[in-house]
């Protein structure tokens, strides 16, 4: 995912809209109960803010599939992460601009990684499983409620 600022300048513009479908090889979580569905969608705009500096504004959307940590039902949820990042040619850390090019890969990897859910729920108010009989309380499967 390379943004070439020279292309933008050559067209006499100071911003460019971009869209990527991105399928990283790396795993974003050690959790075995959930997995990111590929591809990750990245849509946004890069603004040239000066000689050797730029600003990126984009939205990263990804789907996570897995089993709910409370009730174990298979479930799928979509997450979206806003990324706003200023970049500079002279930046020693973070995300530098190299030869008028920006590599979005690390920026997006970091954004997804930081925003991976810690617990994965089918819905925020998931009732989970009955500790006595193991019935799914969302479905009213518990039979020992009245004991």
Summarize as ranges the residues that interact with Zn ion (CB under 5 A).
Answer: 68, 70-71, 122, 126, 130, 132-133, 135, 142, 144
Min separation Cβ 66 and Zn ion, Å: 11
Give the strand pairing for 53-67 and 74-88. Answer: antiparallel
Min separation Cβ 142 and Zn ion, Å: 3
32 vs 45: CA distance, rounded Å: 34
Q: Which is nearer to Zn ion, 73 or 110 (CB)?
A: 73
Q: Which is nearer to Zn ion, 12 or 131 (CB)?
A: 131
Q: Which is nearer to Zn ion, 60 or 75 (CB)?
A: 75
126: helix, strand or coil: coil
* Torsion angle, alpha carbons of 55, 59, 60, 62, to 10: 180
């Amino acid at each position: 995912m390379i943004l070439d600022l020279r292309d933008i300048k050559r067209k006499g513009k100071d911003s460019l809209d971009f869209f990527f479908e991105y399928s990283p090889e790396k795993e974003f979580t050690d959790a075995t109960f959930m997995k990111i569905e590929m591809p990750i969608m990245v849509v946004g705009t890069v603004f040239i803010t000066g000689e050797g500096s730029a600003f990126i504004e984009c939205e990263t959307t990804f789907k996570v599939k897995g089993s709910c940590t409370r009730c174990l039902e298979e479930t799928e949820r979509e997450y979206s992460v806003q990324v706003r990042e200023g970049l500079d040619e002279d930046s020693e850390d973070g995300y530098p601009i190299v030869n008028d090019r920006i590599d979005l890969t690390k920026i997006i990897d970091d954004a997804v990684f930081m925003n991976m859910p810690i617990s994965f729920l089918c819905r925020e108010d998931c009732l989970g499983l009955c500790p006595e009989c193991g019935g799914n309380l969302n479905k009213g499967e518990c039979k020992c409620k009245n004991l």
